[in-house]
Structure 1
Amino acid sequence: MPLRRRHANRIGLLAAAAIFVVIGVGVVMGAQRFIGDANRVSHTNEVIALIGAIEAHLRDGESAQRGYLLTADVDYLADYRRSRGELPELLAQLQQLVRDNPDQSRLALAWKLEIERRLGQMDATLGNYATGGLPSAQRSIGQEARRTSGALRAQARQLVANERQLLVERADSSRNSATLLRALALLGIPLGLAIIGVVYTLLVGEIRRRARAEDAGDEARAQLLDNIDALERQGADLNELSRYGGMLQSCVSVEEAVGLATQYFSRLLPDAGGTLYRVRASQDYAEEVAHWGEHALSGPAMFPLQDCWALRRGQPHVHRAHHELLPCAHVTTPSLNATPTYVCVPLIAQGTQLGLLYLSGHDDAFLARMDLVKTAAEQLSMALSSLELQSRLRVQSIREPLTGLFNRRYLEESLARELARCERRHMPLGLMMLDLDHFKRFNDVHGHAGGDALLAEFGRLLQALSRDEDIACRYGGEEFTLILPEADPITVQARAEAIRAGVEGMRALHLGQELPHVTVSIGVAMFPQHGGLGETLLRQADAALYRAKHAGRNRVETAANDVAVVQAVAP
């Protein structure tokens, strides 16, 4: 009987150990699969973002080509060549990203060939323009170019649709992984507990082996609790990471994405301090945009990119306490012999450095979650890249390409918004209507290309003579508007005179020749003196402009306070 019990005890202990091993292996495999799904989702989002970047470059190239054909401005030609020169590298990146998907790889190759055909058409048009001028270039733009552009858009939509289908499939795979982890917890743990109970019952009668049996039971229970804790932590971390990634994709601004990342990292690493840096547009400095927790090592609010090993090498840099390697130059250390642990994780998307995640702590405990930190940083990088691309596309939708000023639709939206804001704050607002004098006659003499050159130069002058908070727009033709929020009548009048004088001294070049001097007439209306609605202010400013034209042009007129007088003067 004792021998049989000993055999039963051995079998029970081995079964319990096997259960725990299966649970542990299952948890590790499920977690790795979950992280793998998250990485594949990040990869798919990277492909979608790269497709959008390629389309944006192609549109930029087409827009620059049209601008050059219309204005002969070499800046447009330089923009076209820059956009065209960056496309091959982006297309190569896309083919590299989709090389593991034969269908997408074939589609990407076909799209590349179609883009090269379109670029060839644009090069041919520029060649015709160089030899035969604008009429020759216009004749070279035919149905073939439109068919190629349509095919490009269709292929891009198909590529994005395929990637979105992959997102759906990988979301299903993530749910399956979570189901597997729950099944292991719900089935394996009770079974392990039951086996432990049986072993414990058998050991009750064996007085001499009680201590050993209790130790084994305690060890098994401790292992089980550790597995449960690890499972709960990993499950919570993965759920939080998945939720964080989903919310990042829904952010509508860079500030919102940075705020969300700050909250996530502060919860993920409560015992470490963190700082999020963004690389400035000039690509020379990293600037602090968010901070959380308490740093073991402080850092500056701004530092050159070469001061950080992670930004130099393009990969995470871990510096442990008492590490022999030199620390980053941007980290303030008390001494080389007592440097606490810190980590620099670069934020990179599409090969572009977007920022840096800097973490530091008094011990190495936070390094245990570095896999989650890296995955979260990659998701943040892709989100920031996507939001910046969306921001550039939004700017393109509200800017008028010839002058670089805002268009009429943006004027109407901005005027209503700024009027409401000034009314709430009891502040004034100025509105100018500007019209280049005798522009039709100028256009008849120097042609549309000369007129466009003049309009573009006036747009640059208007931006240069405006405040940062002012909103300069092209109203239509040779008419422009300028909104001056929180500007009093004296300031608005002085600004209008400065613009008028600036136009007198303006020099516009076309085809290497200086165009004749022009003048501008300006009508001014003020809120609240001349009205509280955008439509009313525009009408009053237009009436003042009309009076300036009839009073001899090249002058500034202010709207009349009497609405009846304005209506009588207006054409």
Structure 2
Amino acid sequence: MPIALSNTLPGKNRAVQLLILAALGACICVAAAGWLHYSAAKKLNESRDWIEHSQTVMSSLRSESQVADRIDTATRLFQLTKDEENIRSAQTSQVSFNSGALRLQDLTSDNPRQNGQARKLVVCADSLGKAIGRLKEQGDAVTNPLSQCRLILGTLQEVERELLSQRTDESKLNSQRSIILSVSFTVLSILVILALFGFLLRDAVRRKQYERRLYEANEKLASTVRALERQAKESTLLTSVRDELQLCVRLAQAQECAIRYFEQLLPGTSGSICLTNNTRHMVEEVASWGSSTLVMDAFTLEGCCGLRSGRMRWRRPMQSEVHCTHFNGHVPEYYVCIPLAAYGDTLGVVYIECLSPGVAAMVDANMAPIEQIVELASISFAGLNLRSRLEQQSIRDGLTGLFNRHYMEMALDRELRRGARHNKPVAVMMMDIDHFKRFNDTYGHEAGDTVLRELAENFLQAVRNEDILCRFGGEEFVAILPELDLEAAMQRAEGLRTMVSEMRIYNRGECLPEVTTSIGVAIYPQHAETVEEILRSADRALYEAKHLGRNRVVPAESVLLA
């Protein structure tokens, strides 16, 4: 984007320079055209003034000629009639003629040639006035001055006609020049203005293109920002999912965490997490979100197309018409099945149900974070399953399924501390199968293992849920019974002993001989206050029971008194 902007800067600078030059050229042309119009108008006005001046001079000359004719007529009438009224009329006309001559002298002051003739006319007018004064004595005294005045007037008229013709021609020429120059500069100004508008139009088109490119760039940038924001939101969500799943210590917690984030990421959907059971042949729904889904509570592995294919599978109309078979009643039109797999092991499937095509499009748009959440959940589920198995192996006896000795010591310490806090007794029973070594030697270890498993199952059914039953080692068992005093513990131990003696155990279809057990009972804090002491007290009571003939219950109190 910065490169594109930098490439357009020189072009923009050149365009600005051209616009400035075009504007200056237009201004110069308009100014020149205005000056030319002014000059042409000025010359035309001057020519018109000179033409009017010549016409005024010609009019004055015609008036002078008429006055001269009146003087000539008046003098002729006087000569014929001797009427002095004609002399006065001639004198009046002579005064007018003299005024006209003086006016002509003023009018021709700009032309030396005409002005000289006008001065001669003034002199001739004076001579004509004197001749009219002598008209009574000399009847033809007016003839010569009047002829001379007419000759001067004729010369003035001829010269003025030539000047008028010249000035008229010059005015026409100036008018033609003015028209040509005006048209030329007008055309030039129009061309310059058109060029200026062309530059402006080109600049507007380029600006429009630049704005369009800028808009497209902004749209791309906004799209990139939205994508980055979406990625940041998804990254934050995935980080939260990962952190939350890492905090889970039980499989149920991890399932609830995954469900919560699926619901947060996919509003408007319904779905469930289905995991394979211990048999590895059935898939059971363990958690769900949204409204109740149409998926079965339990179904076979073959019932899900996603599990059969081992990859994510969408079901949409006109795209994939094959339905899964893990539904109750109506089958939805839009759904997706995503297998849960980790470390090469298939754990189950995530089922997402969409109520409409729009919701399906939203789910499809968020498929990348969905798959990552599924992957994180798969790893978490697999890790928690492995952790659970390892914990069971670390605290459980492999043969009987009871807690082992290590867990028994930790549990006994915990219960003793709890008993001390709440001032409650804790009973400990140590049980041993009578003559078990001889039983193994006689019937074999397989039969012995069967006896141990049967005893463990019956012990678990006979004790309370809060009681802790452990295999101490070999054929010895330890039961931790919180909040039981000696009397209640003795009754419970007697019940266990009777139950064992009444058991009928079969191995390979053969009934094994009767099995009995000896039990030693110790009470906290009555007989001991530490783990080692109470186990030692129970063990002494057990050996006392064996010493007294086996198949009996002996309290640690009797051992201490002895």
- State the TM bucket, normalised to the shorter chain: 0.5 to 0.7
1:262 matched to 2:259? The reply is yes
Cross-structure match for 1:481: 478
Match of 1:330, SS state, is: coil
Indicate whether 1:436 and 2:433 are aligned.
Answer: yes
Query: Which of 327, 338, 346 pairs up with 1:345?
Result: 338
Q: Pick from 489, 499, 502: which aligns with 2:500?
A: 502
* 2:283 match: secondary structure: strand
Matched residue, 1:521:
518
Answer yes or no: is 1:274 the counterpart of 2:274.
Answer: no
Shift of the 287–428 alpha-carbon distance from structure 1 to 2, 3 Å rule, reads farther
Question: What is the identity, as a one-letter code, of the residue corresponding to 1:8?
Answer: T
Between 207-216 and 308-317, the greater mean CA deviation after superposition: 207-216
**Residue 134 of structure 1 aligns with which residue?**
none
Given that residues 204 and 210 in structure 1 are in contact (C-alpha distance below 8 angstroms), is that contact kept between their aligned partners in structure 2?
A: no
Q: Report the equivalent of 2:63.
A: none
Give the secondary-structure state (helix, strand or coil) at the position aligned to 1:287.
Answer: strand
Q: Offset at 1:353?
A: 2.9
Structure 1 CA distance, aligned partners of 2:328 and 2:213? 50
Q: 1:493 aligns with which of 480, 491, 494?
A: 491
1:368 to 365, 368, 385: 365
For 1:492 and 1:11, the matched residues in 2 are separated by 105
Residue 377 of structure 1 and its aligned partner are, at CA, apart by 1.7
Deviates more, 1:484-493 or 1:252-261: 484-493
Q: Counterpart of 1:257 in structure 2: which amino acid?
A: A
Structure 2 residue corresponding to 1:234, chosen from 217, 231, 236: 231
1:354 counterpart (344, 347, 353): 347
Please name the residue that 1:320 is paired with.
316
Give the letter for the 2:441 counterpart: H
Residue number in structure 1 paired with 2:549:
552
Aligned positions of 1:67-466 closer than 5 A: 206-207=203-204, 213-238=210-235, 240-241=237-238, 244-245=241-242, 248=245, 252-292=249-289, 294-295=290-291, 297-320=293-316, 325-331=321-327, 339-362=332-355, 363-364=359-360, 365-401=362-398, 403-418=400-415, 430-439=427-436, 442=438, 446=441, 450=444, 453-454=447-448, 457-466=451-460
Residue type at the aligned position of 1:493: Q
Q: Which amino acid aligns with 1:524?
A: V
Contact 1:295 1:359 in 2 (8 A): no
Structure 1 373/208 Cα, relative in aligned 2: closer, same or farther at 3 Å? closer
Deviations 1:522-544 (A, max 9, x none): 23346687677655653454454
Q: For residues 52-97 of structure 1, what are the alpha-carbon distances to aligned partners after superposition, in whole Å with 9 as ceiling and x for unaligned?
A: xxxxxxxxxxxxxxxxxxxxxxxxxxxxxxxxxxxxxxxxxxxxxx
The superposition leaves residues 370-414 of structure 1 with CA deviations (integer Å, 9 ceiling, x where unpaired) of 233223323322332233233323322333445554321111112
Residues 8-55 of structure 1, C-alpha deviations (whole Å, 9 max, x = no match): 38999xxxxxxxxxxxxxxxxxxxxxxxxxxxxxxxxxxxxxxxxxxx
- The 2-side partners of 1:309 and 1:379 are apart by 22
Q: For 1:204-262, what per-residue CA distance to the aligned partner results, in whole angstroms no more than 9, with x for missing partners?
A: 99446655554443333122111111122124424543664576567544334334433
CA distance in 1, matches of 2:420, 2:304: 48
Q: Distance in 1 between matches of 2:538 and 2:506?
A: 27
Structure 1 residues 401 and 287, CA gap change in structure 2 (3 angstroms): closer
1:248–1:383 contact (8 Å) kept in structure 2: yes
Tell me the secondary structure at the aligned position of residue 325 of structure 1.
coil
Show the counterpart of 1:64: none
- Report how far residue 369 of structure 1 moved: 1.9
Gapped regions of structure 1 (runs ≥ 5): 13-201
* Separation in 1, partners of 2:556, 2:314: 66
User: Which of these two proteins has the greater Rg computed from alpha carbons?
Assistant: 2
How many Å separate the matches in 2 of 1:253 and 1:415?
Answer: 24
> Residues of 2 paired with 1:432 and 1:408: CA distance?
14
Where in structure 2 are the equivalents of 1:464-475 lying within 5 Å? 464-467=458-461, 469=465, 470-475=467-472
Q: What corresponds to 1:8 in structure 2?
A: 8
Letter in 2 for 1:384: F
CA distance in 2, matches of 1:234, 1:251: 25
Letter in 2 for 1:392: R
Deviations 1:482-507 (A, max 9, x none): 23457797698357524544345454
The letter of the residue matching 1:328 is: C
Q: Which range moves more in the overlay, 376-385 or 397-406?
A: 397-406
Query: For residues 221 and 291 of structure 1, what CA distance do their matches in structure 2 show?
Result: 42
- C-alpha distance in 1, partners of 2:477/2:341? 41
SS in structure 1 of the partner of residue 279 of structure 2: coil
Distance (whole Å) between structure 2 residues aligned to residue 395 and residue 551 of structure 1: 37
Q: Secondary structure at the match of 2:284?
A: strand
Residue 481 of structure 1, CA deviation = 1.0
Question: 2:349 and 2:321 mapped to 1: Cα distance?
Answer: 20
> 1 CA distance for matches of 2:403 and 2:292?
47
How far apart, CA to CA, are the structure 2 residues paired with 1:273 and 1:331? Answer: 14
What is the rounded CA distance, in whole Å, between the counterparts of 2:531 and 2:210 in structure 1?
86
Unaligned runs of 5+ in 2: 13-198
- Please give the alpha-carbon distance, in whole angstroms, between the structure 2 residues aligned to 1:326 and 1:425: 63
The 2-side partners of 1:546 and 1:418 are apart by 24
User: One-letter code of the match for 1:299?
Assistant: V
CA distance in 2, matches of 1:243, 1:231: 18
Q: TM-score normalized by structure 1?
A: 0.52
Following the alignment from structure 2 to structure 1, what is the Cα–Cα distance between the partners of residues 222 and 209? 20
Superposition TM-score, scaled by structure 2 size:
0.53
2:403 counterpart letter in structure 1: F
8 Å Cα contact 2:305-2:324 kept in structure 1: yes
Identity of aligned residues (%): 37
Q: What amino acid sits opposite 1:358 in the alignment? A: Y
SS in 2 for 1:466: helix
1:460–1:422 distance in 2 versus 1, CA, 3 Å: farther
Q: Which fold has the larger relative contact order, with Cα–Cα distance below 8 Å and residues 6 or more apart in sequence?
A: 1
> Would the aligned equivalents of 1:430 and 1:492 in 2 still touch at CA under 8 Å?
no
Q: Distance in 1 between matches of 2:425 and 2:308?
A: 50
